[in-house]
Amino acid sequence: MFEIHQMATAVSDRNSKQQLESAAIILDCREHGESDLIVTFFCRHHGRLTGIAKGAKRSKKRFVNKLEIFTSLRIRHTIPKNNRLAFIAEAELVESFLTLRQDFLCYITASIIREFTLLATHEMEGDEELYPLLVWAFTSLDNGRPPRAILILFLIRFYTAIGYSPQLHRCPDCSQEINETETYTFFPAAGTIRCSICNKGKESNGSPLTLGTIRSLAAAQDQPLNRIHRLHLSRHCQKEALTFLHHYGRQLFQREIISWSFLDTISPKGKRNKPQ
Ligand SMILES: [Zn+2]
Tens of pLDDT, residue by residue over 89-147, are 889 999 999 999 999 999 999 999 999 999 999 888 867 899 999 999 999 999 999 99
Cα 143 to ligand 1 centre (Å): 41
Cα 170 to ligand 1 centre (Å): 8
Cα–Cα distance for residue pair 145/29, rounded to 1 Å: 26
Ion ligand 1 residues within 5 Å by Cβ: 171, 173-174, 195, 198
Cα 63 to ligand 1 centre (Å): 56
Cα 202 to ligand 1 centre (Å): 12
The confidence score (pLDDT) of residue 275 equals: 47
By CB atoms closer than 10 A (0-12, 13-18, 19+), residue 233 is: buried
Strands (E), the chain: 20-32, 36-43, 47-53, 72-77, 86-95, 184-187, 192-195, 207-209
Q: Is the pLDDT score of 157 beyond 50?
A: yes
Residues 6+ apart with CB under 8 A from 251: 188, 189
Cα 194 to ligand 1 centre (Å): 6
Q: Fill in the DSSP letter of residue 258.
A: T
The confidence score (pLDDT) of residue 149 equals: 96
Cα 174 to ligand 1 centre (Å): 4
Cα 172 to ligand 1 centre (Å): 6
Cα 192 to ligand 1 centre (Å): 11
Mean pLDDT (the chain, rounded): 88
Cα 221 to ligand 1 centre (Å): 21
| Gap between the terminal Cα atoms of the chain | 58
How large is the average pLDDT for residues 225-236? 92
Model pTM score = 0.88
Cα 166 to ligand 1 centre (Å): 16
Cα–Cα distance for residue pair 141/191, rounded to 1 Å: 28
What domains does the chain contain, in order, with CATH numbers? 2-96 (2.40.50.140), 100-263 (1.20.1440.120)
Cα 252 to ligand 1 centre (Å): 23
What pLDDT digit, counting tens, does each position of 28-64 carry? 999 998 889 999 999 988 899 999 998 888 776 777 7
